[in-house]
Amino acid sequence: MKRAGIVLSLSILMTLMSFSICFASGLQLVDSYPKNGSNDSTLENVVVKLYFNEDVSAEEVQKDNKEAFKFTNGKGKELPLRILYPKNNDEIWVLVNQSLESDSDYKLVISGDLKVPNGDTLGEDQTVDFTTRNTGTDTTVNMVLMGIMMTGMIVFTSISTKRALKKEEEKKAEEKKINPYKVAKETGKSVEDVVAKTEKDKERARVRAERKNRRMASKDDKSDEGSGDVNDNKRVKGPRSISVTGSTYITGRKAEAEKERARAAAKAAAGTTRPKGATGKSKNKKAKKRK
């Protein structure tokens, strides 16, 4: 029993001591952005974000904490600020209402009087020192990188051009005419044999090229036929009359021709009183006989 009582007493004592330490800690600045001592801050729309261990956004303390922040440059000149309270209750954002200078030192001082609704204060002044970016160095680095990139592009282009020229020269060398006398001298064959072999090789190359072209043309025709089915188009051997497809549409010239044929047929069917090839005299003689 005594041992159990001692253990229980020690446990209670340790718990009370931990609570007392927590309550004694008070309001603290946990972190910041930019961090203290950083040297890569931007120049425009600078916002220093402060992170605390307690709720610092309560409206009842915002007015009192408004004067708890001071932002100065390396010469000690104070710059205008605007205090912002984001959605996170344990954060305060300090917006600098002025563009900063390149490669310059700045300091944000948070007063130890900064407080929270339960009465806790920061206790001691806290500072966040940082240096802005050197835009001259950034420009130099960017120019160097751009120069490296342009040099690389020129080198690769030059290599590609040389390769293309080399291939072209090799192709020209292959196509260059063979000197039969030189070949005959080197091989010990007669000039006629060398010429005959050269012509035979050229003929074989020509035949191979023609076969290749025919195969390519055949493939193109097949692909065209396949594409015609997709677009509902039909291939025909030549022009055909529209009546072949069953259309009854009659053009103006055709309609006029049909009317002319109909008038001629009607006239032929009605007959005529003037015999074919009859003259005026023969007509008069026939009339007198009838009398």
Residue range 193-227, pLDDT digits in tens: 877 877 888 788 888 888 888 888 777 666 655 54
The answer to whether the beta carbons of residues 284 and 291 sit under 8 Å apart is no
Higher pLDDT, 114 or 283: 114
What is the predicted pLDDT for the residue at 230? Answer: 47
Q: What distance in Å separates the CA atoms of residue 170 and residue 250, rounded to the nearest whole number?
A: 65
Average pLDDT of the residues in 101-129? 93
The answer on pLDDT for 108 being more than 90 is yes
105-110 and 69-73 beta bridge pairing: antiparallel
287 has pLDDT over 60: no
Average the pLDDT over each of 77-91, 96-110, 170-184, 190-204 and give the range with the smallest value. Answer: 170-184
- Please tell me the least confidently modeled range out of 12-21, 119-128, 166-175: 12-21
pLDDT value of residue 21: 43
Can you tell me the mean pLDDT for 42-62? 92
Percent of the chain topping pLDDT 90: 31
What pLDDT band is residue 259 in, cutting at 50, 70 and 90?
confident
DSSP 12: H
Whether the predicted pLDDT of 62 surpasses 80: yes
pLDDT band at 247 (very low <50, low <70, confident <90, very high): low
Mean pLDDT of 260-284: 64
The highest-level CATH class for domain 24-133 is mainly beta
Give the pLDDT band of residue 23 (cuts 50, 70, 90): very low
Instruction: Tell me the C-alpha distance between 92 and 116, whole Å.
Output: 12
Average pLDDT for 177-196: 73
Mean pLDDT across the stretch 129-136?
Answer: 90
pLDDT bucket at 124, cuts 50 / 70 / 90? very high
Residues ≥6 apart with Cβ < 8 Å to 36: 127, 128, 129, 130
When the pLDDT of each residue in the chain is averaged and rounded to a whole number, the result is 78
Strand partners, 48: 94
Alpha helices in the chain (DSSP H): 2-25, 59-65, 135-175, 180-187, 191-230, 252-270, 280-290
**228-236: average pLDDT:** 54
